[in-house]
Amino acid sequence: MKTIGVFDSGVGGLSVLKALLLEMPQARYVYLADGAHAPYGERNPQHIAERAHRITQGLRSSFGIDALVVACNTATALAIEGLRVEHPEWPIVGVEPALKPAAALTRTGHVGVMATRGTIESERLARLRQRLEAGTDKPLHFSLQACDGLADAIERDDRGAINELSRRYWDALVAQTPGDVPIDTLVLGCTHYLFAADVLQTLAGPAVTLVETGAPVARRTRAVLGLDAASGGAVLGSPQVSLLSTGDPAPLAKAATRWLGLDVPGRHFPC
């Protein structure tokens, strides 16, 4: 049985874990939330890179994992290239805002992207955006919005703050509309944001398609491990999941129960 390590700054990566469970219910999972250092979005890039390297080494040495999923857009943008250099023989799958799928889906050519400041300001995202905008013969424009505080509000399950911040940042995106071309596709560029998708969809309206990255990441992870596709949906609550946190594990376990139906105790993992 393959063991897959998954890490995020907090609970947002549970959205990716859910997709992994559905894609590969036959695998074993070790999920680590870096709760003592969450959220990553507004932290110093060097600090995030150092955390990613330390967590990766800790998961690999303690659990013998066969592959790592960096279930955090910010950590992927700022650290995954260094992780792959440090562990060249080992599969590492990252997440990044789904600009390419969004570019294929958009009808108006105007795509909104909501992400953390660390992701929005990263060179990795800038390169991806430039490549896509330059590589198409149809009009394509990405409007980017840094959503300071939204991941933290989701981490705390503060519904009032989630509603307020979601409205603020959606309005800011709409204000960037070039001419009269409306946004018809919205990229959720942080794994936390899937847990605010209901609020964002209400704000954006039914004509706007929300795009996230969990399912493509799960398919990519299965491919690099050479596993067969699942014949049926996973039973969430599987005992093959371990939940770890560098901070208080209780919020992680509570979030896993609330959002995934997992009944798994969390435990502290110093790293």
Sequence-distant (≥ 6) Cβ neighbours of residue 78 within 8 angstroms: 45, 48, 49, 52, 118, 122, 124
Strand partners, 94: 70
Around Cβ 257, how many Cβ atoms within 10 Å? 14
The H or E element that residue 165 is part of is helix 159-175
Instruction: Write down the residue that tokens 């997709």 correspond to.
Output: 19
Based on the residue annotation, tell me whether 147 is a catalytic residue of this protein: no
Cβ(208)–Cβ(186) below 8 Å = yes
Backbone φ and ψ of 210, nearest 5°: -90, 135
From the list 4, 120, 190, 262, the catalytic residue is 190
Spatial distance between the Cα atoms of 9 and 171, rounded to a whole number of angstroms: 27
Backbone φ and ψ of 172, nearest 5°: -65, -35
Based on the residue annotation, tell me whether 271 is a catalytic residue of this protein: no
From the list 4, 72, 103, 183, the catalytic residue is 72
Tokens representing residue 53 in the block? 């390297």
Q: Are strands 241-245 and 185-188 parallel, antiparallel or unpaired?
A: unpaired
Tokens representing residue 206 in the block? 């039914």
What is the rounded radius of gyration, in angstroms, for the C-alpha atoms of the chain? 18
Give catalytic residues, as residue numbers: 72, 190
